Structures are given as structure tokens and as C-alpha cells.
Amino acid sequence: MIWVLLMITGTSNAANFTDGLDGLLSGSSALVFGAFTIISFWQFRHPDFYGVAGALDLAILAAALTTATLGFLWWNTAPARIFMGDTGSQALGGAMAALALLTNTDLLLPILAGLLVLEGASVVVQIFAFHAFKRRVFKMAPLHHHFEVLGWPEPTVIVRFWILAGLGVALGLGIFYGDFIMSGGVG
């Protein structure tokens, strides 16, 4: 129960930290939910190997979240006409944690959602460094604002962070499939 609480709280807060630039969270969330669509459908196709109850339902939920965040992204990219806010960002983070827990991929979530981990960790490091050493590690936290202060244009920061999110998703899916192969899933 404590693990579930930590996962949901941590992912929700990390998503909230990431939601600071137009389209940053919605674009990276679409990638993560797309990965969960693939993972849960793969688990549905291999029920004897994974034993995840309701894997097809989870795949449908993940696909719905993917398309919803992509549809929202149409209106949320810079310059945003619709904003997500705290409620939306925390709901997306909670949905990521819930999907990870229900697909038994909770240890894979920090890789799939690596951008959220990076953003959340930058806030923790900044607060710790300031309170412990009276110094800042970043010009501003979360990390995406650090690059804005350095002079990077907002679209540049967003697209480069989407690339990082995509790399995390690709690595996570590779690990997921590699585990399937190494554990004798193909035979």
C-alpha cells in the first residue's frame, strides 16, 4: 500500500512539475501512454506469460489516454489556447502510475516516464542544494525553465524534451521486450 501511494504521489507531482511549457506534458504523456498501449496489448496476447487480468481493457484505456492527450496537444502547443492546469497534469501522472501498477511494470515506469523523473529530480535537487548549501544548482527549477533562462526558445526546449521522452519510451519498450525474450517468452 505504501508503494502504491509513493508511485501515485510521485508520478502525479512529477507530471505537475513537467506541465510548465505549452505542450511539454501532453506530448510526452502521449508517448508514455502509447507505450502502455503496446505493453498492455502485448500482455493480452500472452496471458500465460504475464497473467495480467484485464490486459485488453488496460490497452483500451491506454489507447484512449494516448488519443486524448494527442487531441489536447492540438490546442496546447505553443502558443497554447487551452491550458491543462494542476488537475489535468496530476490526473495524467496518476493514470501513468495506475497503468504501471496494473500491468506489473512499476519498476519500468521511471524509464518510460524518464522525462518526468528528470523534471521532478531537478526540483528536489534544487530545493536540497538551496537549503543545505544556500546555492542553486539550476538557474531555475524545474529543469525546462533552466534552459529557458539560458536563452533557449520555448519551442526548442519542448521539442528537445519530447526527444528525451521518446528515448525513454524506446528504452523502456526495449527492456520490456528484452525481458520477454530472455525469460523464455518466445520458444
User: Look-up: residue for cell 525553465?
Assistant: 145
Q: Which three cell numbers stand for residue 105?
A: 511494470
- Residue 103 and residue 43: Cα distance in Å, rounded? 8
With CA atoms as reference, report the closest residue to 65 among 25, 105, 101, 104: 25
Q: How far is CA 8 from the centre of its chain?
A: 12
Q: List the grid coordinates of 19.
A: 506541465
What is the structure's pLDDT at 80?
Answer: 83
Residue 152 domain flag: yes
Angle between helices 85-102 and 24-45 (to 10 degrees): 20
Residue 2 has a pLDDT of: 95
- Residue 106 within any structural domain of the chain: yes
187 occurs within a structural domain = no
The number of CA neighbours under 13 Å toward the Cβ of 159 is 6
Residue 33 belongs to some domain of the structure: yes
Residue 98, domain member (yes or no): yes
Task: Enter the pTM of the model.
Answer: 0.94
Please give the C-alpha separations between residue 100 and each of 14, 50, 92, 118, 149, in angstroms, as whole numbers.
Answer: 15, 14, 12, 18, 34
Residue 159 inside a domain? The answer is: yes
35 Cβ contact partners less than 8 Å away, ≥ 6 residues apart: 112, 169, 172, 173
Tell me 183's DSSP state: T
72 part of a folded domain: yes
d(CA 50, CA 179): 11
d(CA 90, CA 95): 8
Structural domain including 163 reads 2-182
Number of separate domains in the chain: 1
pLDDT at 79: 87
The pLDDT of residue 187:
55
Determine the Cα–Cα distance for residues 118 and 111; give it in Å rounded to an integer. Answer: 10
Q: Is residue 12 part of a domain?
A: yes
Query: Tens place of pLDDT for every residue, the chain, 187 residues?
Result: 999 999 999 999 999 999 988 899 999 999 999 999 999 999 999 999 999 999 999 999 999 999 999 999 999 888 888 888 889 999 999 999 999 999 999 999 999 999 999 999 999 999 999 999 999 999 999 999 999 999 999 999 999 999 999 999 999 999 999 999 999 877 5
